Structure 1
Amino acid sequence: MSAGPGRLHERAAEGGKSLVWNPKDVNLVPNFNCLLTVLRRDGVPDRVPLFELKVDNEVIEAVLGQPLTDPALSGRDAILETRRRAVRFQCNMGYDYLPFRLETGFTRQVRESADDTAELSRGQRQWVNQHTGVIASRSDMEAYPWPRGGLDEVLWEIEAVSSLLPDGMKLVARTSGVLENAMWLMTYEDLAMATIDDPSLVTDLFARVGERLVEVHSAAAGHDAVGAMLLGDDMGYKTQTMFSPTMLREHVFPWQKRLVDIAHAHDKPFILHSCGNLEAIMDDLIDCVGIDAKHSFEDTILPVAEFKRRYGNRVAVLGGVDVDFLCRHTEDEVRRYTRDIREACAPGGGYALGTGNSVTNYVPVANYRAMVQAGGKS
């Protein structure tokens, strides 16, 4: 049986080693300007800041030594307590921001699932079904309950959470992406077929998705507590992009650029998290879409140090500690590997350290700690 955070703490205590810690080798006073210096590539910051797309709840709970949610609370009280605990985690780990996911309101198709075998198991692991979606035809698209408005609760939460942030900390607000949402609604397979069989349907689908993302980003970007906007939009796999660069230029990049323009209109930097081999479109993303920072790296595709060498004078570079390496190696090996990345990427500025993707619940917590301590030293 997989162990939850409580059992992990119990087991750690028996071995004389707790999983709860306040790292001594990282800066525990948040200063978003340090991260902002990186995102704007505006010189060399006083220290190399840390950055993650997200840390899985199970890892946060293992570090804090308590659940993120309080079962005794409900409604808005429960939401705020969860955010309060997340803020404490971010501060304790040395981050300068709180990740803040903005819900788009899109309903997805039925997901696939299997047993989650991670030590910090959540019971079931789910992923998107790419064979059967909720939209397969124009009639499906017209019948789909497209979200509109309904952002009052999101704006309330941004305002409420802003009161929980310590001095120097900001929100990095994010949504899922243009291509991702289109694929989740129609499935990768059907969307690919539709680009040939029904191009007008594809155009209209991206318009519906893009318009909603514009609405959500417009609502959030102007808030003082929001320090940067982030779009999670996976567009590639190990060898190339998931669709041709021509298709992406026609349907995806124009909407991504509108989101970038919204952020820039409020003087906020724009971060793109996108997995996969994007070599064929990187110039488009930097020069045409106008992203300020790129996140998500995998050593088998392009190590972060090589990306920094190629593109670091044009776009900020975030993360790059390979998640596979983080999972499979010892703490000492992780420390050495992290230091090597830092030494290769930090000179000249424009770099924040973290994983190549996210701190998943199958990353050993001790290795996560080793990465933070090795990377966060001034």
Structure 2
Amino acid sequence: MSSSLWQPNFDRVLTVLRREGEPDRVPFFELFHDAQVIEAIMERPIPGDQDEWRRYRIEFMTKLGYDYVVGCHTFGFPGKAALLADDTADLSRGKRGWADEHSGPIANWEDFEKYEWPQVTDATFEDLQELAPLLPDGMKVTATLPGGPFENLSRLFGYEPLCFALIEQRDLVQAVIDRICEGDLTVYRGLCEMDHVGALWLNDDLGFKTQTMISPADLRQYVFPCYKRLVDYAHEHGKLVMLHSCGNLREVMDDIVDCGLDAKHSFEDVIQPVPDFKRQHGGRIAALGGIDVDMLCRGTEDEVRRYTRNVLEQCAPGGGWALGSGSSVANYIPIPNFLAMLDEGRTAGVYSH
């Protein structure tokens, strides 16, 4: 097996995102890996020094066969503090947070006017800029939004008050989503100026197991116009855009594709297995990941291998797909199972051109 197959080469990712056929091998792709997973595999703690932390991230991604490293920015829309509970994973971070669904910083027009909308500063993209000279040949950076348009909309209102506002204060909802979209576009403008940024994430969880978080009609009115604006800007400046969105999106998947997004990430077998998605939508949008997190968490190593091999056999032919978890490599996924998934990719994911 050629050693070049396991050297960073972001072109193989671009081949997938553009749906231009089969690259030399199936790329590996994740939204992120929890810090505890990274430390366990690297067998040493994350450095405190920021420059060493960047080198450490690059080393980790290169070691496992990825063609990119995740870059960070500091832009974000402040909401209420997360609610916390004990993290019971074997690789515990101590506490695990989740969003307060009951309230947010904006409930009325007075709150809207008082809210301190974030601005891009010289420090916003420092991590991304400092990564550039450290990248090995062939490696690029992927970068996320500070949460997507819907996530920030629900964070600023609180999910429950947002549902009421969609009945009682639709003009305020429109004003808030407009400001969010302007902020996200400002981030994209900065990212699109960086040659070493290979692709952009639009990370925005829209649904849960059975449906979308708000009605498809409201997503079409408030959220998808922002998607299209962001994607159009990125494409005009030579960048591809990948959507990470959890939940059952069947009723709006055609709308998502029509926004021009290049790839869809986040799959759950109980909603739609990634092979089914690729058969249904693969002619219009690439698929990323899809090794079910429940299998990664609860399966034996042999079960994970068989499952991964089956997905590879269905999704690899023709390209347009990258191997990875169904969502992210969380700290409750057993490390041997995660590594078994990648090992199957090395064994069965090389194309015989």
Does TM, scored on the shorter chain, surpass 0.5? yes
Cα distance in 1 between the residues matched to 2:78 and 2:198: 28
Q: Which residue of 1 aligns with 2:46?
A: 68
Q: Which residue of 2 aligns with 1:110?
A: 81
**2:83, 2:100 within 8 Å by CA — same for their partners in 1?**
yes
Q: Percent identity?
A: 50
The answer to whether 1:162 aligns with 2:132 is: yes
**1:130, 1:188 within 8 Å by CA — same for their partners in 2?**
yes
**1:38, 1:352 within 8 Å by CA — same for their partners in 2?**
yes
One-letter amino acid matched to 1:336: R
Cα shift at 1:154:
3.0
| Paired residues for 1:109-128 under 5 Å | 109-128=80-99
In structure 2, the CA distance between the partners of 1:321 and 1:311, relative to structure 1 (3 Å rule), is same
Q: Determine which of 133, 139, 162 is the counterpart of 1:191.
A: 162
| Paired residues for 1:105-254 under 5 Å | 105-150=76-121, 152-175=122-145, 176-254=147-225
Cα distance in 2 between the residues matched to 1:250 and 1:145: 25
One-letter amino acid matched to 2:131: V
Q: CA RMSD in A?
A: 1.4
Cα shift at 1:106:
1.3
Q: Which residue of 1 aligns with 2:20?
A: 42
The answer to whether 1:318 aligns with 2:296 is: no
Cα distance in 2 between the residues matched to 1:157 and 1:368: 27
In structure 2, the CA distance between the partners of 1:27 and 1:118, relative to structure 1 (3 Å rule), is farther
Cα distance in 1 between the residues matched to 2:209 and 2:281: 19
Q: Which residue of 2 aligns with 1:348?
A: 318
The answer to whether 1:292 aligns with 2:262 is: yes
Cα shift at 1:26:
10
Which aligned runs of 4 or more in structure 1 are off by greater than 6 angstroms? none
Q: TM-score, normalised by structure 1?
A: 0.89
Cα distance in 2 between the residues matched to 1:155 and 1:104: 8
Cα distance in 1 between the residues matched to 2:14 and 2:252: 25
Q: Which residue of 1 aligns with 2:329?
A: 359
Cα distance in 2 between the residues matched to 1:361 and 1:234: 20
* Deviation sequence 1:111-142 (CA, Å, 0-9, x none): 11111000100000011110121111111111
One-letter amino acid matched to 1:154: T
In structure 2, the CA distance between the partners of 1:120 and 1:334, relative to structure 1 (3 Å rule), is same
Q: Secondary structure at the match of 1:227?
A: strand
Q: Which residue of 2 aligns with 1:14?
A: none
**2:140, 2:198 within 8 Å by CA — same for their partners in 1?**
yes
Cα shift at 1:192:
1.0
Unaligned runs of 5+ in 1: 1-23, 71-77
Q: How many residues align?
A: 346
Q: Determine which of 34, 52, 57 is the counterpart of 2:30.
A: 52
